[in-house]
Amino acid sequence: MTRLAGKVAIVTGASKGIGAGIARGLGEAGAAVAVNYASSRTGAERVVAAIEAAGGRAIALQGDVSQRADVERMIAATIDAFGRLDIVVNNAAYFTFGPIEEISEAEFHRHFDTNVLGTILVTQAALPHLQPGASILNLSSAGLLTPTPLVTLYTATKAAIAQISGVWAKELGPRQIRVNVISPGSTETEGNRIGEMDEASRAFIIGKTALGRVGEPADIAPVAVFLASDEARWVTGTVMQVSGGFH
């Protein structure tokens, strides 16, 4: 497929899970892809190899999205490798769950540094390179529609990302840069091993999902490809629930 031919993408947290699925989808659609990882080099290299095996172009880039120097190095390496940047997918995230009483300042800062500050730093570093027609995709969560006990910090970061994206759609609209949000529902990934949960927990999740199953990264990727493509040229400031009707 060539919907994204000639375009260049960076996907943060693309060594596994939804980020890996989106990176592969963008690569299969013809984009050259910078595959960011924090610690899972092998995972990122596997994604690069899959994109290359399908005839695409990709590189793996290590970097912590919460560190400005890492982020600037990754964006510079993307430009060095591919000469431009058109698509930014802010997918990297950190999440742990627990009761209010156990929230520490260190965990608060780790969640917000990775999920919110990381999204801001990557977007800031990318912006000087983005031309009219560029697309920014930020990952939030369908979980915002249905508050879940024990998920304070993660929920707070994903709400912040959804709100920030609306601000950016307005701020960057005059430059013809589109900003949209993908909100996955419960999706089987390395970070969310639903298949290993007990039967009651799995049934609870599936019961909250209109289409009656758990999602997988391949369910998310085509929507990211669409939103990144010129077919979505009139779509900005949107929160797309890609969740099988999770509520």
Ligand X SMILES: NC(=O)c1ccc[n+]([C@@H]2O[C@H](COP(=O)([O-])OP(=O)(O)OC[C@H]3O[C@@H](n4cnc5c(N)ncnc54)[C@H](OP(=O)(O)O)[C@@H]3O)[C@@H](O)[C@H]2O)c1
Footprint of ligand X on this chain (CB under 6 A)?
12-13, 15-19, 36-40, 64-66, 91-94, 114, 118, 139, 141, 184, 186-187, 189-192
CA distances to 20, 77, 186 from 14, rounded to whole Å, are 4, 16, 18
Q: How far is the CB of 61 from ligand X (least distance, A)?
A: 10
H/E stretch holding 37: strand 32-37
Question: For the CA atoms of 202, 204, 208, 214, what is the dihedral angle to 10 degrees?
Answer: 0
| Positions of E strands within 97-213 | 135-139, 178-184
Q: How far is the CB of 197 from ligand X (least distance, A)?
A: 12
Q: How far apart are CA 236 and CA 238, in angstroms?
A: 5
Q: How far apart are CA 224 and CA 231, in angstroms?
A: 12
Of 66 and 236, the one with the shorter C-beta distance to ligand X is 66
Q: How far apart are CA 245 and CA 151, in angstroms?
A: 20
Of 101 and 193, the one with the shorter C-beta distance to ligand X is 193
Q: How far is the CB of 142 from ligand X (least distance, A)?
A: 6
Of 46 and 84, the one with the shorter C-beta distance to ligand X is 46
Of 55 and 207, the one with the shorter C-beta distance to ligand X is 207
- Token digits of residue 86: 């058109």
Q: How far is the CB of 139 from ligand X (least distance, A)?
A: 4
**Largest CA-CA distance found in the chain, in angstroms, rounded:** 51
Phi, psi of 65 (to 5 degrees): -65, -15
Q: How far is the CB of 246 from ligand X (least distance, A)?
A: 9
Angle at 141 between CA 135 and CA 146, to 5 degrees: 145
Q: How far apart are CA 153 and CA 162, in angstroms?
A: 15
**Active-site residue flag, 154:** yes
Of 115 and 229, the one with the shorter C-beta distance to ligand X is 115
Of 131 and 146, the one with the shorter C-beta distance to ligand X is 146
CB atoms within 10 A of CB 116: 20
Q: How far is the CB of 19 from ligand X (least distance, A)?
A: 5
Given the residues 37, 82, 154, 168, select the one marked as catalytic: 154
Provide the annotated active-site residues.
154
